Amino acid sequence: MRVKAVIAYDGSAFYGFQKQSHTTQTVATAIELALENLKIQSKITGSGRTDRGVHASNQVIHFDLPSFWSDLQKLKTELNRNLKAVKIKNIAKVDDKFHARYDAKTRLYRYYFSTTKTSVFMRNYLAYFDPFDSEKLTKALFLFKGKHDFNNFSKNGSEPNSTIRSIYASNHKYHHGVHCITFEADGFLRSQVRMMVSAAMKCAQGKLELWQLEEQLDNKHLHSVTLAPPEGLYLSHIFY
């Protein structure tokens, strides 16, 4: 039986979502070890990968269950008992052909940051940026909307079949001292969100001009290659 699980995790506890050869401290490995403890020999597939230090509030995974695990509520309880820094929010039976990654229509990321120094208790969950011009930030974010070749906004090594992505939402909001940048797209390249946040914030702080951002989007010139700090980024929702 194939099941779909919605999970949340504290990215500061892991070296990323995907399994890695040099460490067992990844989200995927943690979940698979928890499954093994329950006599479930199944690999998990995620809707996407997150970098080291990046969080998720609603990541989606799928895996296959043996016939003796029919009580999904009990499975959820037992998995949460075996997991640290990961929470299984929901588990539901799905069609055997369901695929967490390939069936996803859009993905939504949120980036949270403050312009005041965060406390020691929040430094892993909220990024910091120097003061900026919110109007310039809005203009910079607007440039990302639409269909573009994001080759200049992806980290080397991902080697996707295509670097063309469509961004449907790209905005900035402020509430009670916390800024939030939101991106929703049909997909994202490796580190793309963090590169876009970094470039947009440079425009907002006068370190990069809007025409330079447009040049980079048009793959005419590379002006910014830095990544925004990972602690502010959250994989917030997967739409199917």
H/E stretch holding 103: none
Which letter, b or e, does each residue of 94-122 get, where b requires 16 or more Cβ atoms within 10 Å of its Cβ?
Answer: beeebebbebbebbbbbbbbeeeebeeee
* 145-155 tens-digit pLDDT: 999 999 999 98
Average pLDDT of the segment spanning 114-134: 94
Task: Measure the N-to-C terminal CA separation of the chain; round to a whole number of Å.
Answer: 20
Average pLDDT of the segment spanning 7-27: 95
Report domain extents, the chain: 2-93, 106-239
Q: What pLDDT, on a 0 to 100 scale, did the predictor assign at position 160?
A: 72
Alpha carbon 203 to chain centroid distance?
23
Average pLDDT of the segment spanning 155-167: 81
- Asked whether this chain's domains 2-93 and 106-239 adopt the same fold, the reply is yes
| Measured distance CA(79)–CA(86) in Å, rounded | 9
- Structure-token pair, residue 195: 């590169």
Is the pTM higher than 0.85? The answer reads yes
158 pLDDT higher than 70: no
- Amino acid letter, 43: K
Which letter, b or e, does each residue of 146-159 get, where b requires 16 or more Cβ atoms within 10 Å of its Cβ?
Answer: eebebebbbeeeee
Choose which CATH entry (3.30.70.660, 3.30.1050.10, 3.40.50.300, 3.30.70.1350) describes domain 106-239: 3.30.70.660
Q: What pLDDT, on a 0 to 100 scale, did the predictor assign at position 76?
A: 97
Q: What pLDDT, on a 0 to 100 scale, did the predictor assign at position 156?
A: 72
Catalytic residue of the set 10, 51, 96, 133 = 51
* 170-200 tens-digit pLDDT: 999 999 999 999 999 999 999 999 999 999 9
Arithmetic mean of pLDDT over the chain = 95
pLDDT tier, 161 (very low <50, low <70, confident <90, very high otherwise): confident
* 56-105 tens-digit pLDDT: 999 999 999 999 999 999 999 999 999 999 999 999 999 999 999 999 99
* CA nearest neighbour of 57 among 87, 99, 91: 87
Decide if 71 is catalytic: no
118 pLDDT higher than 90: no
Average pLDDT of the segment spanning 120-144: 96
- As assigned by CATH, the class of the 2-93 domain is alpha beta
